[in-house]
Amino acid sequence: MALLDEAPSMYAQTIQLIQREQVGPDYHLLKFDCPQVAAAAQPGQFVHIRVAAKWDPLLRRPFSVLRTNEAEGSFQVLMRTVGRGTQMLAEAQPSTEFDIMGPLGNGFALPGPEGEAILVAGGIGVAPLIFLATVLHEPESYRYARGLFGARSADDLCCWLEFSGVCDEFTAVTQDGSAAEQGLVTDFLAPQLERGAGCVYACGPALMLAEVARQCQGAEIPCYASMEQRMGCGVGACLGCVIPTRASGAQRYQRVCKDGPVFDAQIVDWEAIRCGCTPG
């Protein structure tokens, strides 16, 4: 595996919303004017956005970078409306200013020159994988990419055209069968692993990631998981986003914002996460 270049310094600044596009009943694509993030962000990293000029809501919201345009000096994030803070973002008009920190966290490691990449997305976890697949299709870093995208229903298959457009092969799955194949996205992973791959990348709900990690371990294929977690500070100080991991047989907690959000899936203590044995 070849690591992406070491992440440049994080930027804290006020930026403007350029465009807001609704891409599903509860989903919006937000484009921001920010040359620094556009130039520095790497797949798997995120930005931390204060959703109001005042301190209410108090906490910032983390969003994975979906796409950058360095020539334009912009970047995009995908958001799902789940509460008051994200509702404020969903109603924001172009030219609205936001205070942000980013890019934050550690991104994905690029696969080696041999073997194909499998990208497994669940719901809004598709965002960083679109960014990764875009990089994998650049001439200097091209790798054959097979995309799997699972969601609860057709309404939750947001940005699936964007994802399929940067994958060499693509399968969409819905749990209720309202679009594409029916089932869980992990039901369709085993045949892909049997074909072989250089690496698997995944982002989505924790139980999905646990099953992806289990299958990859059985197939002896490296897997990197981008974890979704509630965050406070976003820079590793508050310890509000820790997850249990195991290294050298000993359990310890690591910060999703600072040590992740991308982790080697085999060091994550998925059993502890399944049973809710985390302090976060």
25 cis-preceded (ω within 30 degrees of 0):
no
pLDDT-above-90 percentage for the chain: 81
Question: pLDDT tens digits, residue range 192-243?
Answer: 999 999 999 999 999 999 999 999 999 999 999 999 888 889 999 999 999 9
The whole-angstrom separation of Cα 118 and Cα 108 is: 13
Kind of pairing, strands 109-110 and 145-151? unpaired
The whole-number average pLDDT for the span 15-39 is 96
- Look at residue 278 in the predicted model and tell me its pLDDT: 53
Q: Contact, 202 vs 211, CB < 8 A?
A: no
* Distance of alpha carbon 19 from alpha carbon 227, whole angstroms: 27
Mean pLDDT of all residues belonging to the chain: 92
Helix (H, G, I), strand (E, B), or coil: what is residue 2? Answer: strand
d(CA 146, CA 176): 23
Q: Which residue has the higher pLDDT, 275 or 74?
A: 74
Task: Give the residue-averaged pLDDT of 172-180.
Answer: 95
Domains, the chain, ranges and CATH?
Answer: 9-104 (2.40.30.10), 109-228 (3.40.50.80)
Tokens of 55: 């301190």
Instruction: Report the pLDDT value the prediction gives residue 9, as an integer from 0 to 100.
Output: 58
Average of per-residue pLDDT across 168-192: 96
Residue with the bigger pLDDT between 51 and 169: it is 169
Using alpha carbons only, give the angle 28, 161, 219 rounded to the nearest 5 degrees.
105
Specify the pLDDT at position 127: 98
DSSP 8-class letter at 74: E
- Residue 250: the pLDDT is 75
